[in-house]
Amino acid sequence: MNTSPKKEPGRVLVIGRSPSVLLATVEILRAKGYSADTTNQFDRVLDDYDVTELDVLVFGGMVPADTKQRLREDISERNPHVTFIQGLAGIAGLIAAQVQAVTSPETAGSGEVVYDAAQRSVRLVLDDSAAVAVEAWWLTSFVPPEPKSASMNVFDGRLDAGSHTVPLPERVPSEGSFAAVTVGSSTRVFTVGPLPEAVRRLAPASAADDRLPEVGRVSTGTDGR
């Protein structure tokens, strides 16, 4: 992934397959102030979008590996400053949190934030008092092309300087689950439970791999959306 200094919301393009996830992701990002678009027309990306203006490009997990590699190379050649993100799962709120994590400025006094997998808890060491929010997401259906998910706000409040532990409820499963921790304006995203191997095997190896069902066309910014 190319790295760049964290900055205010900018221009984001999300490339994936699931129409509902893609459109929901763009809606969330736009509400947060990003100039965001999305497409599942992989062969049209360079024709339909000015990639020289992009700050962040997100790849969904079901984009064929060779397509991702080709687009990375072509877009990096045109825009060496773009930041690439590999989406962790087909969950709109999670993808938006990943974008926020690479673009949000570091908050003074945000200290250390880690996920303790053994204890299923978020550990924070804050230098100063700060507003803290912890949100979790998990997949409830892994069936393509429209995965389904659930989410919950685990914690939302102000914490004093010092050490704190925020446990994840049992409701958050041990696979296909993720969490985001926001301290002030700085966001970090963690994998709680990895995707099942059966789901990871669904990802096409090449553009010629047609194991996944057909999906409706999505290309915002080019179709009036």
Tell me the domain boundaries of the chain: 11-103, 112-195
Q: Where is 23: in which H helix or E strand?
A: helix 19-31
- Prediction pTM value: 0.92
Name the one residue in this structure whose structure tokens are 């190896």.
205
- At the second CATH level, the architecture of 11-103 is 3-Layer(aba) Sandwich (3.40)
Name the one residue in this structure whose structure tokens are 């092309």.
145
pLDDT exceeding 90 applies to what percent of the chain?
80
Strand order through the sheet with 130-141: 148-159, 130-141, 177-183, 186-193
- Cα–Cα dist 190/179, whole Å: 5
Q: From residue 43, give the alpha-carbon distance in Å to each of 28, 71, 91, 124, 219.
A: 25, 9, 23, 43, 12
> Smallest Cα–Cα separation from 168: which of 143, 138, 209?
138
The average pLDDT across 40-53 equals 96
Each residue of 141-183: pLDDT tens digit?
A: 988 778 999 999 999 999 999 999 999 999 999 999 999 999 9
pLDDT at 23: 97
pLDDT at 7 over 80: no
The average pLDDT across 12-25 equals 97
pLDDT at 27: 98
- At the second CATH level, the architecture of 112-195 is Sandwich (2.60)
pLDDT at 5 over 70: no
pLDDT at 218 over 90: yes
pLDDT at 111: 86
Tokens, residue 208: 């010629």
